[in-house]
Amino acid sequence: MFKKTLWLGAILASFLLFSVPVSAHVTVKPAESAAGSWETYTVKVPVEKDNATTKVVLSMPDGVEFQQYEPVPGWKTSTETGKNEKVTRVTWEAENGGIQPGEFQQFTFTAKNPDKEQKAAWNA
């Protein structure tokens, strides 16, 4: 099985006067997936502090080929590509208030897993 681990990351929030980093227990599901398969992944972003989350940046693990995303109402989605023209990073930015304290939002995308079994680190 293709195993992956999500690293806790800093998520930027609050555009009032300055950006404030916020830690969250971001998760990527499913926890395991078959090597070489196409998978639909879901990133769950909770807000655990008193500041809204207005931007989420997810880096693709080595070997995982991002294909497409499901639009989320109220969020603008953009991608960055690397030297090989493959997507290396996906960014979701709120067009209004974002994810408020006590709420969570899910972001869904499809990707192709590496052909050989490996661990993958998701950075958000």
**This prediction's pTM:** 0.78
Which CATH number does the domain housing residue 8 bear?
Answer: 2.60.40.2230
For residue 85, the SS3 value is coil
Q: Total domain count for the chain?
A: 1
| Omega within 30 of 0 (cis) for the link into 30 | yes
Q: What are phi and psi of 72, to 5 degrees?
A: -115, 120
Please state, as a whole number, how many other Cβ atoms lie within 10 Å of the Cβ of residue 33.
20
Domain ranges, residue 78 = 2-123
pLDDT given at position 3: 42
Residues 65-88 have pLDDT tens digits of 999 999 999 999 999 999 889 999
Q: Rounded to an integer, what distance in angstroms lies between the CA atom of residue 94 and that of residue 82?
A: 24
For residue 90, list its beta bridge partners: 58, 79
CB 13 within 8 A of CB 97: no
For residue 101, the SS3 value is coil
For residue 109, list its beta bridge partners: 41, 69
- Which range, of 9-23, 72-86, 94-108, averages the lowest pLDDT? 9-23
CB 21 within 8 A of CB 57: no
